[in-house]
Amino acid sequence: MANVADLQRDYRSLVNGLKKTGKPIVILSNGNPDVVVMDILTYNAYTQNLKDLQEEYLLSMAQEGIKEYKDGNTKTLSKSQKLLDLLD
């Protein structure tokens, strides 16, 4: 962790540390966490991991839905029904 003054005063050293360790730094403002700073390689890895997890989750949900459909565990809505009506 570092505070805003540290970031302003010692920017280059903090950035070099980020690049060396690959660990994000929490910047404090008035003693409270304000922002997180990370190097671009770490950011890209985080965002790619998040995209991969989202894709994996969506694919598993789609596969589960297809299985439920094939097993006959589905319901058909009438034109006047809404999906939320099935939850009552």
Q: Where are the domains of the chain?
A: 2-38, 39-72
Q: What is the pLDDT of residue 54?
A: 98
Q: Which residues pair with 35 in a beta bridge?
A: 27
Question: What's the predicted TM-score (pTM) here?
Answer: 0.67
State the pLDDT at residue 86. 82
17-26 pLDDT, tens per residue? 999 999 999 9
**pLDDT given at position 74:** 87
Rounded to 5 degrees, φ, ψ at 33 are -55, 130
Max Cα separation, the chain? 66
pLDDT lower than 70: segments of the chain: 88
Q: For residue 25, how many other CB atoms are within 10 A of its CB? A: 19
Q: What is the pLDDT of residue 77?
A: 86
